[in-house]
Structure 1
Amino acid sequence: MYNSTKLIVIKLLLTMTRFAFLVTVITIALSGVLLAADVKSQDLRTIQVTFSAKNTTLEDVFNKIEQQTALSFTFAKQIGDKQLTTYQATNRSVDVILKELAKSWRLKFVQLGDIIAVSELPPPAKPGRITGKVTDAKTGETLIGVTVRVSGRPNGASTDVNGRFSLQVEPGTYNVALSYVGYQTTAVNDVVVKEDQPTYLAIKMEPSQGDLAEVTVKADRVITSTNEKLVGQMKNAVGVVSGISSEQITISVDRSASEVVRRVAGITLQDGFISIRGMTPRYNPVFLNNVYMPSTDPNKRAFNFDLLPSNVIDRILVYKTGAPELPGDFAGGVVKVHTKKSVNIRRFEMTLNGQYRTGNKFFSNHVSAGNGKYDWLGFDDGTRGLPKGIPRNQYGVALSQVSVSNPNGYSIANEKLTDALLQRSAKQWTLQNVYHPMDIQGDATYYTYANLGSMKLNSVSLARYELQRGYFRSNTARGANQFVETDFPANGAPLSPYYKDNYRLMYDSVYSENVRLAAMQDLSLNIDKRNDINLMVLFNHMAKDQLQIQTTTNWNNSAGNPFPRRVESAYNQQQLLTTVLGGTHKTNNDRHSIEWNVNYSRARSYDPGQFSNIYEPDLKSINGIYNGEGSLNITDATTWRMYTFPQNTNVGNFSDGEGLEKRWQGNIDYVFQIAPKTWKDLQLKAGAYYENRNKNYQFYAFRYGRYPAMPYSADPWNTIGQTLLEANALRPQGQR
């Protein structure tokens, strides 16, 4: 019994060793593919040599090239012994020489750095032929024009006047399909074609029964997770789990993960951040393909679901109770998002959506600030960013002259920085009109696969583009929530407003623009039934531009200026890049399983050139007084100017911010089925996790001081750029 147990343990260790070796080899191979771009190879087209060879060998030619370059050749002896009668090269590129040798001797050259590996190509197999004759099964008459197709071949053939056909193919096994109007489609499977030999087929086609039926063309989307699978996964999970599948997502009109996850019970969202059971976003970690997602907000530890487009999502699971495989730092719940996986099909899907919403200024002008030529792609062309050439310290923080009075806080900008900031403000503060027909959204998905011997490589590629512009107007008030009545009327009559000192009645006009670019690539290598390796790369770029114009119509403001018109602009970019390489491996008896992955994630938040400006009207348009009770009467004759009271910190403010978080992760999980036949749920689990995270955020706030008098005009916000450049007395002051 002792020896029997010992043999079982030895066999188990040998099996695990073989699989560990296989995983290591495949991981190294894939790592080589991923890191190949880092190996700097010489461009063979730019390397020229001169030599003469007569009655020599290929080895001698390679040696002559090595003597004049830094290249080194590696090859088998039978390749180096091949004889050359003569070869002449005068200032010829190595690339041309190798191409000529490859063509003459059927060689293959592979360059890695300065090393070139030489190998022989196998001799080409001589093609065979599939020939035959097609006749009517009942009458024996030959059929003319029958379409003949062979599996795996792009082109087919048609029968001639004698009902014969002929197709040249490489040696192998094929399926042949024949179709003809009025006849049943006929298939001949497992047709073996040998090298340089014909394979003859005598085919009889049966006439169709009855009249020709209506032809219906139907195309369905690929559904990678169904409701049934999702319910099964939730039942088998440890604890309380809710979720949504791609089957439900596909039939919805949701554009982002934040819209999708709202459909899960117990979930609430605010500005794209998730809340579970009332707990704030920092207590609800988010995983993408079992990888911890980085924070996308500089002020909170949370992931913004607006970053994930809905077309990349396969399913979402929300864990509301603890489990051994979940992190222990959550109080509300854990959200696991799984992206679509590649499947064994070839298909291309494309959708283009247009949306028209009433009240949103479609087919008219859309107002925005500081437009750049790449805004439609969601990228800033430099119009909004900090000027180039600003001095920075070793951490990338912009520097300016330090103030003597407050060396740790305020700084006084130098003349070069002042001029650069003025040039930027001149572009960014100027409002512009952009024609907008309607919102658009385009998606493209491509599934494909390749057979690699006994292995299979599946691939899915997804891309999305969105452009959405919005407009709304709303009435608002400040300090106006007081009423004449001291008790609520019993009959439900409306209350009478009581406006005391320091109130304002206003209306807001808000213009917004959202752009999204997203792409995902998923590669799945199926080694066998128990071993898979997967690589996923996801990139998402979002840009949000919001312009708010607030106009005060009535006020009672003894404390100061009522700020009749405020123009504020906020532009934000968010980027997410995540790469996951992982695998699953099981033993033959399925008792041992290993799941592992390594990940790199990068989240960037960029807030360039946010500003707030105040404009005041001419005194003729004001009923009453500024520092007291008054109202604004806007007419076609009303003129405005930028408010320039130098002590007011709400005038001419602008700020810049940028945050970046990088995260490296790796984990491995091991599961052992203790008694798979009697106790399927009795398992031993072990795992390890590694994480390295780096996060930083930089913020700059500026305002202009020493304003000169600004001129009145009908629309100064459309010409403020030129006005700023003419007002060369401005000097920005900053605080970091």
Structure 2
Amino acid sequence: MPNKYTLSVFLTILFGMLNLTVFAQTNGKIGGKVIDSKTSETLIGATVSIQGTTKGVATDVEGKYLLGGIAPGKYTIEVRYIGYQAKLVSDVIVKAGDVTNLDLSMAAATTNALKEVVVRSTYRQASVASLYAVQKNSASISDGISSEVIKRSPDRNTADVLKRVSGATIQDNKFVVIRGLSDRYNSAMLDGASLPSTENNRKAFSFDIVPSNLVENLTITKTASPDQPGDFAGGLIQIATKDLPDQNFVSFGLSGGYNTASTGKDFISGPRNATDYLGFDNGKRQLANGFASSTQVANGLSEQQNLSLLRSLPNDWNRYVNTALPTQNYQLSIGKVSESEKTGNRFGAILALTYRNQQSIYSDIKRDFYGYDYNDDAYKFSTNVGALLNLGYTFGKNKITFKNVYNRIFDDQYLGRTGHNNSGFDVNYYAFDLQQKALLKSSLEGNHPLGEKGAKINWLLSYGNVLNDQPDQRKALYTRASGTTNPYQAVLSSLTKENSTLFGKLNENSYSGGVNYSTPVKLFTQSTLKAGLLSLYRDRNYDVRFIGPLFSQKILNDPDQVNTISRRPLNTLFSRDLIDAGVYNLAEISNIPSDSYTANSLTNSGYLMLDNKLTEKLRLVWGARVEQFNVNVTPLVFTNASDKVHQNYTDVLPSANLTYSLTDKINLRGSYSRTLARPEFRELATSSYYDYELLAFQQGTPNLKRTNIDNFDVRFELFPSAGQIFSVSGFYKKFTNAIEAFNDDATSTRTIRYFNSDKANVYGAELEVRKSLDFIRPTDFLKNTTAYANIAIAKSVARNPTNSGLNLQFADRPLIGQAPYVINAGLQHNFFKNNLTFNALFNRVGQRLSIAAGGQYANVYEVPRSVIDAQLGVKVFKSKGELKFNAGDILNQRITFYYDQNNNKKYDGGDYTQSSFKQGSTYTLSFTYTL
């Protein structure tokens, strides 16, 4: 299996690299990137040297350089490039065994200069100038977070990091919402390659699957450009993992955490295996090899076959009580780099391993709606293992990288439910639910210069695998007539998705390849022509079966036997003595239309764009992207031809981003782009899944159309100083055929399905501020204190389709998943020359629509809640080690979803509660050390 094979390769390389000896280094290095000060384009072949010596190197195809073997001391760096003003940077300090980072920006030479112009600056001035250039010169409207910022927050995974970005929020601790638009309107990329949906029952990528310590930087692009995939409306999330190291290192970390709702309390679970702690089921929860097919079960089994199959099923229904352990987190990173003294060619590798185990208790979850009155207690055992292996080789000005990421989440949940339902029964309900998610992503990328005039080519080959495995979701239901004291009895006369065992497995492979070409052209003041081609093929298999034991006919003919056996406690209800006595027959729910399906899609795209410097102050990035899309979704068994999906269409997606630089510190931006949102496989498949927590079915709609979106943006940007910003943005989005979810309740059972709204409009504004507080008073304390906030306000109106035959309420309503406001704020302070840092963070999301109303069930909204996190970090052992104390979700406010019965968009006494619970506050102490 590819995932296990890759993991074994990672472990083999780990042991090999651990045998390396890390020697003390007496010399230091200087490294960084050289860019154009007006466009941030990398400068290939720029010469970086130490003044007064013969030591020098040329930048590679990414504009990067590394000067090694430098004795500790203070130096002046000289940078030269044809057509640009030469630059001298003084006061560059080199320390033994360390890398001094020096990014440089260069200005084009003026055409009427009579003699060479040399720009002189200090190390600090040069670093500030390069950071300015990167901030100002982005072609599109975007926001991002670097690894340095991630280190200063208590964020454990990428989902936690994303909620710090302007206009972004997180749902269910893993799905991202941007500009108030639901997760299905966003796309994600990892190391330049698209990421598929990780979910069985929605279009979404589970960002908690990528640990934050593996991330080099994260960017959310909010306006499209032709060189980006066109399948997004809210934002394109681009994750870059750590690149090649500048020097050898070994780093390790460990942490322990206390959760106020869980740690030290009684923790109930099903059977636990040692391999669960490693993130892998030991195989005992899977269907046995050679288990009878659905057809064989439907055609009838012999007595011996029935007995053999029942014996092979996972049969430990005991509920084990232990004590919830503290959260544990371990990390190990190793970097190795070698350089040829003759050629200057470099080979480097980074290997990182992460491990996390968390045991969470969600007690007294309230579910009170439409005749249901339930109290749930849920216990989730989670293990997350991750591995990263990045290899790179630079030769001349060329660079080739091979990046690999593997992550696995093992979530084993037990849920106990008490209460009564709308059928007049008291209920005791039990669910044992194991879900294993895994992501494997491998990318081979090359960057090469072409000629001596700045042209370059980039190519990328990528493979991805997503696994979502539910090998043993067991559910059992006991009932009695409400208002009586009768004994509870297990429901064993019929098999439904509510009381069966689900065996489901989603496996998807993706293959992509692309090439990009760029070259300077003589057009206006300065221009770059870019063009590219990309193909992406996805292939998914989803297999699911609903199996369980039911009373045999001989038992059903004996009411006394039925009463006696069905009153047994859960741990003896399906005991071997009853199976051997012929009490049960194996049953399976027939799936027509089939819940299992296969799906594939092929996307071919090409683009052409121009990056024009029209004048010294005016820049236009414009062009078009063409995407041809073919998708097929086929149920394993189907009776109606309409259940089988085949769609094939081509879209032209133009875009233009205009930037006017009022001053060196102020930009005005405007953009237009056409994007789209295609239905995900799950949204098209007729497969029906019962969600025992939502008490509803989830099912796709084969005739869904793609959504077309026109996007308009304006933005004012002010950069008071490096790393600081004040910006105001406005945006408007026009949707045609928006894809949304609603409560289809035409029958007695609620089913969450998808449909196309006729049209929808979203408009809003964003404000972002990041500023040190020394403007209040010029003191060192305020200079080292930074306040930041980003606020997004949005409003949407969606119109339900008319004469569609759908059972929908309300002609107009908010767009599903759209939040009216998002607030992120924080305060950061550095003490004692950055040896002590403090960071406080605040997040709040306005009330947002989760599911649209059907004929009976009202709109489902999520109640706003405030989240405060904090971190205190202390560097120790001469800054090689760091202690961090993190406090997460200090306020611990309830997470609540409700049915808005009176349609006043407020959670009050007239409303029903779909779910409401607290997840507790988490306090963590961690230690990291780098050799």
Bin for the TM-score computed over the shorter chain: 0.5 to 0.7
Q: 1:610 aligns with which of 469, 473, 481?
A: 473
Structure 2 counterpart of 1:438: 326
CA distance 1:651–1:688, change in 2 (3 Å): closer
Helix, strand or coil at the partner of 1:294? coil
Question: What pairs up with 1:564-713 in 2 under 5 angstroms?
Answer: 565-587=428-450, 589-615=452-478, 626-630=480-484, 643-647=490-494, 649=496, 652-675=499-522, 679-680=525-526, 682-706=527-551, 708=555, 709=562
Residue 313 (str. 1) matches residue 167 (str. 2): no
For structure 1, list consecutive stretches of 5 or more residues without a partner in the other structure: 1-33, 38-147, 153-186, 191-216, 392-397, 404-410, 481-502, 617-625, 633-639
Helix, strand or coil at the partner of 2:575? helix
Q: How far apart are the structure 1 equivalents of 2:522 and 2:392?
A: 31
Question: What pairs up with 1:449-598 in 2 under 5 angstroms?
Answer: 449-452=337-340, 453-454=342-343, 455-474=345-364, 476-479=366-369, 503=371, 505-528=373-396, 530-552=397-419, 559-563=423-427, 565-587=428-450, 589-598=452-461
For structure 2, list consecutive stretches of 5 or more residues without a partner in the other structure: 1-5, 10-22, 28-68, 73-94, 104-126, 556-561, 592-931
Q: 1:401 aligns with which of 288, 292, 296?
A: 296
Q: How far apart are the structure 1 equivalents of 2:231 and 2:158?
A: 23
State the one-letter code of the partner of 1:595: N
CA distance 1:690–1:556, change in 2 (3 Å): closer
CA distance 1:606–1:230, change in 2 (3 Å): farther
Whether the 8 Å contact between 1:390 and 1:399 is mirrored in structure 2 is: no
Helix, strand or coil at the partner of 1:401? helix
**1:218 offset after TM fit, Å?**
13
State the one-letter code of the partner of 1:427: N
**1:519 offset after TM fit, Å?**
0.3
Q: How far apart are the structure 2 equivalents of 1:220 and 1:610?
A: 52
Helix, strand or coil at the partner of 2:148? helix
Q: How far apart are the structure 2 equivalents of 1:631 and 1:512?
A: 32
Whether the 8 Å contact between 2:489 and 2:566 is mirrored in structure 1 is: no
CA distance 1:149–1:472, change in 2 (3 Å): closer
CA distance 1:691–1:348, change in 2 (3 Å): same
Structure 1 counterpart of 2:239: 337
CA distance 1:577–1:504, change in 2 (3 Å): closer
Whether the 8 Å contact between 1:383 and 1:424 is mirrored in structure 2 is: no
Work out which structure has the larger RCO, using CA pairs closer than 8 Å and 6 or more positions apart in sequence.
2
Question: TM-score when scaled to structure 2?
Answer: 0.46
Higher normalized helix content (fraction of residues): 1
**1:586 offset after TM fit, Å?**
1.9
CA distance 1:242–1:540, change in 2 (3 Å): same
Whether the 8 Å contact between 1:224 and 1:340 is mirrored in structure 2 is: no
**1:714 offset after TM fit, Å?**
11
Structure 2 counterpart of 1:353: 255
Whether the 8 Å contact between 2:426 and 2:482 is mirrored in structure 1 is: no
Q: How far apart are the structure 1 equivalents of 2:269 and 2:196?
A: 31
CA distance 1:506–1:333, change in 2 (3 Å): closer
**1:277 offset after TM fit, Å?**
2.6
State the one-letter code of the partner of 1:575: A
Question: TM-score when scaled to structure 1?
Answer: 0.58
What is the CA deviation profile of residues 292-318 of structure 1, one whole-angstrom value per residue up to 9, with x for unaligned ones? 112212333332212111111111111
Structure 2 counterpart of 1:202: none
State the one-letter code of the partner of 1:432: Y
**1:221 offset after TM fit, Å?**
12
**1:365 offset after TM fit, Å?**
4.4
Helix, strand or coil at the partner of 2:426? coil
**1:644 offset after TM fit, Å?**
3.5
Q: How far apart are the structure 2 equivalents of 1:465 and 1:605?
A: 19
Helix, strand or coil at the partner of 1:260? helix
Q: How far apart are the structure 2 equivalents of 1:255 and 1:539?
A: 16
Q: How far apart are the structure 1 equivalents of 2:493 and 2:99?
A: 62
CA distance 1:267–1:556, change in 2 (3 Å): closer
Whether the 8 Å contact between 2:492 and 2:550 is mirrored in structure 1 is: no
Q: How far apart are the structure 2 equivalents of 1:149 and 1:302?
A: 47
State the one-letter code of the partner of 1:331: A
Question: What pairs up with 1:76-155 in 2 under 5 angstroms?
Answer: none
State the one-letter code of the partner of 1:525: Y
Structure 1 counterpart of 2:731: none
State the one-letter code of the partner of 2:296: Q
State the one-letter code of the partner of 2:569: P
Residue 382 (str. 1) matches residue 280 (str. 2): no
State the one-letter code of the partner of 2:543: Q
Question: What pairs up with 1:60-459 in 2 under 5 angstroms?
Answer: 232-271=133-172, 272-360=174-262, 362-363=263-264, 365-391=266-292, 398-401=293-296, 403=298, 412=300, 418-419=306-307, 421-423=309-311, 425=313, 427-452=315-340, 453-454=342-343, 455-459=345-349
CA-based RMSD of the aligned residues comes to 3.7
**1:222 offset after TM fit, Å?**
12
Structure 1 counterpart of 2:627: none
Whether the 8 Å contact between 1:234 and 1:241 is mirrored in structure 2 is: no
Moved more, 330-339 or 217-226: 217-226
Helix, strand or coil at the partner of 1:321? coil
What is the CA deviation profile of residues 35-64 of structure 1, one whole-angstrom value per residue up to 9, with x for unaligned ones? xx9xxxxxxxxxxxxxxxxxxxxxxxxxxx
Q: How far apart are the structure 2 equivalents of 1:283 and 1:329?
A: 8
CA distance 1:652–1:284, change in 2 (3 Å): closer
Whether the 8 Å contact between 1:412 and 1:732 is mirrored in structure 2 is: no
Q: How far apart are the structure 1 equivalents of 2:528 and 2:142?
A: 20
Residue 730 (str. 1) matches residue 584 (str. 2): yes
Q: How far apart are the structure 2 equivalents of 1:698 and 1:401?
A: 17
Whether the 8 Å contact between 2:425 and 2:482 is mirrored in structure 1 is: no
Percent identical among aligned pairs is 25
**1:240 offset after TM fit, Å?**
1.0
State the one-letter code of the partner of 1:348: V
Instruction: Pick the structure with greater CA Rg.
Output: 1
State the one-letter code of the partner of 1:562: D
Higher normalized strand content (fraction of residues): 2
What is the CA deviation profile of residues 594-623 of structure 1, one whole-angstrom value per residue up to 9, with x for unaligned ones? 11111111111101111211235xxxxxxx
